[in-house]
C-alpha cells in the first residue's frame, strides 16, 4: 500500500499507526461531502439576498443535526469556534459569579475562570459527590458547576446525572464539557442533566475551528464576542458556513455509527491486555472507573513519557503524553496529579486513543513498538536491580 495514498477521507494510511484520536480525528467522508459544497459557495449568512438566504438555510439545517446528537432543541445550539470558546462562553456567560470546576477539567475550563473552586476527584478520577454537595451547601451564592463528561487524558466518565441532580438541589447551573464523549458514547441532554453542553467538531470527525455550546432550556447567555448579533446575540461573527456543515454531517455520521465503539473497546482492551502480558509493571490509570471505550492512559514506570512518545514516533506509532494543547509546555498532568498518582507514574504516562477507523493492526503495531521500548529501557535494568 502506498505511503502517501490515502484511500478515502476519514481513513488512514496503514503504514503509520495513529492512536491520538483524542487530540483530533480525520475528517469523515460525510463531512468532506457537506463541506465541499459550502466551501465553494459565497455569501454571508446574514445577507438578505439569495446567496445569504441559502447559506442561512444550511446553517439552520446544521443546527438541527447538531442538536439531534444530544436530542436537544435546535434553538439551544450556539455555534462557536470550538470547544475552548464554548467552555469560555458557558463559564463566563452564565451570569453566575461562583464557579466550581472539577480538578480534572480541560485547560480551557480551568483557564476560563482560574480562580474557580476545585471539586476533588478520587483515585479513580471520579468527582467526589459528597464534597460537591458540601461545597454547594456551604455557600448560598448562585453557582455554576462545570464537570466534563469524559476526561481527555484517561477517558474516565463522570457521574454527570448525579452531578446535575446535586447542582439542581442547590440551585446551581450545570455545564458539561462533552467534547471527548460526543461521538464515542451515546448521549442525550436529559441523561446528562446539564444546562450547557460543550461540543467540538474535530473530535468526532468534523473539521477543526468549529464547535457549539448547547443551551438546554431557556437560559440567558452573556456573549463573549460582541458584534453583529449573530447566533441570536449570543455569539457575534460571520458564521463558519462550511465548518458548520461539516460539523453537522460528522455529528450525524458519528451518532449513526456509535456501535463501532464496541469494536473499538475490544481493541483498547486488547491493547491493555497486551501491555499487561509484557509486564506487571505497567499501570493503566483510571482503569477501575467507567471509561470511554477508546482511551488508555498507560504508565511505563521509570521511563519518561517524552522518551516513550519519541521512541514510538520513530517506530511510526503516533500517540501523545496527554493533552495536545499545551503548546510545548511539558509539565506534569494536572489530571493524574488530582487523582493522587505519584510523580513517578505521572511523568511516565502516555495516552493512547482509538477511533472508528482503528484496527487490530494498530494494536499489534503499538504492542510491538511498546514492547521493544520496554525491553530496551526496563528489561535489563529491572532484572539487574531485582537481582
Catalytic residues: 325
Choices 101-109, 154-162, 288-296, 360-368; region in contact with other proteins by CB under 8 A: 101-109
Nearer to other proteins, 26 or 193 (CB): 26
Give one DSSP letter per residue of 224-243, joined into a string: SS-SS-TGGGTS-S---HHH
Q: What is the contact mask toward other proteins in residues 231 to 250, using x (rule: CB under 8 A)? A: -----xxxxxxxx-------
Which among 293, 305, 336 has a CA at the least distance from the CA of 155?
A: 293
Residue 52 class from Cβ within 10 Å (0-12 exposed, 13-18 middle, 19+ buried)?
middle
Taking residue 36's Cβ as centre, other Cβ atoms within 10 Å add up to 12
Q: What is the contact mask toward other proteins in residues 46 to 75, using x (rule: CB under 8 A)? A: xxxxxxx-x---------------------
Least distance CB 243 / other proteins (angstroms):
5
Nearer to other proteins, 280 or 327 (CB): 327
Question: Which residues, numbered 321-340, are part of the site for other proteins (CB under 8 A)?
Answer: 321, 323-329
- Give the total of residues touching other proteins (CB under 8 A): 81
Q: Tell me, what DSSP letter sits at residue 216? A: P
Contact status: 35 vs other proteins (CB under 8 A): yes
Nearer to other proteins, 141 or 226 (CB): 226
Contact status: 210 vs other proteins (CB under 8 A): yes
Contact status: 108 vs other proteins (CB under 8 A): yes
Q: Determine which residue in the list 83, 164, 286, 355 makes contact with other proteins, applying CB under 8 A.
A: 83
Which among 302, 284, 311 has a CA at the least distance from the CA of 344?
A: 302
Choices 121-129, 135-143, 225-233, 273-281; region in contact with other proteins by CB under 8 A: 225-233
Question: Which residues, numbered 124-163, are part of the site for other proteins (CB under 8 A)?
Answer: none
Residue 94 class from Cβ within 10 Å (0-12 exposed, 13-18 middle, 19+ buried)?
buried
Q: Tell me, what DSSP letter sits at residue 100? A: E
CA pseudo-torsion sign 362, 363, 368, 372: positive
Amino acid at each position: 500500500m502506498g505511503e502517501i495514498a490515502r484511500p478515502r477521507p476519514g481513513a488512514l494510511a496503514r503504514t503509520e499507526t495513529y492512536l491520538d484520536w483524542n487530540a483530533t480525528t480525520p475528517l469523515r467522508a460525510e463531512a468532506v461531502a457537506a463541506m465541499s459544497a459550502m466551501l465553494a459557495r459565497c455569501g454571508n449568512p446574514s445577507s438578505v439576498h439569495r446567496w445569504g438566504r441559502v447559506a442561512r438555510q444550511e446553517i439552520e439545517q446544521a443546527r438541527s443535526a447538531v442538536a439531534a446528537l444530544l436530542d436537544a432543541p435546535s434553538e439551544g445550539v450556539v455555534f462557536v469556534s470550538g470547544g475552548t470558546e464554548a467552555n469560555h462562553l458557558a463559564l463566563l456567560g452564565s451570569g453566575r459569579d461562583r464557579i466550581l470546576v472539577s480538578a480534572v477539567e480541560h485547560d480551557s475550563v480551568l483557564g476560563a475562570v482560574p480562580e474557580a473552586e476545585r471539586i476533588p476527584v478520587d483515585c479513580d478520577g471520579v468527582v467526589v459527590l459528597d464534597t460537591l454537595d458540601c461545597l454547594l451547601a456551604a455557600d448560598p451564592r448562585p453557582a455554576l458547576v462545570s464537570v466534563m463528561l469524559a476526561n481527555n487524558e484517561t477517558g474516565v466518565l463522570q457521574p454527570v446525572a448525579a452531578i446535575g441532580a446535586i447542582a439542581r438541589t442547590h440551585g446551581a447551573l450545570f455545564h458539561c464539557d462533552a467534547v471527548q464523549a460526543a461521538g464515542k458514547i451515546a448521549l442525550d441532554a436529559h441523561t446528562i442533566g446539564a444546562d450547557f453542553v460543550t461540543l467540538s467538531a474535530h473530535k468526532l470527525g468534523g473539521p477543526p475551528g468549529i464547535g457549539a455550546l448547547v443551551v438546554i432550556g431557556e437560559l440567558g447567555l452573556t456573549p463573549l464576542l460582541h458584534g453583529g448579533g449573530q447566533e441570536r446575540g449570543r455569539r457575534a461573527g460571520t458564521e463558519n458556513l462550511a465548518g458548520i456543515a461539516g460539523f453537522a454531517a460528522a455529528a450525524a455520521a458519528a451518532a449513526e455509527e456509535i456501535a463501532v465503539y464496541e469494536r473499538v473497546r475490544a481493541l483498547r482492551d486488547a491493547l491493555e491486555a497486551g501491555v499487561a502480558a509484557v509486564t506487571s509493571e505497567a499501570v493503566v490509570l483510571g482503569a477501575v472507573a467507567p471509561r470511554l471505550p477508546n482511551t488508555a492512559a498507560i504508565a511505563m514506570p521509570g521511563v519518561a513519557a517524552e522518551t516513550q512518545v519519541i521512541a514510538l514516533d520513530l517506530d511510526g506509532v503516533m500517540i501523545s503524553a496527554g493533552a495536545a494543547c499545551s503548546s510545548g509546555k511539558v509539565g506534569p498532568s494536572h489530571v493524574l496529579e488530582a487523582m493522587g498518582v505519584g510523580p513517578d507514574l505521572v511523568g511516565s504516562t502516555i495516552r493512547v486513543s482509538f477511533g472508528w477507523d482503528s484496527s487490530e493492526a494498530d494494536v499489534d503495531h503499538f504492542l510491538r513498538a511498546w514492547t521493544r521500548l520496554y525491553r530496551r529501557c526496563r528489561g535489563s535494568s529491572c532484572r539487574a536491580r531485582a537481582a
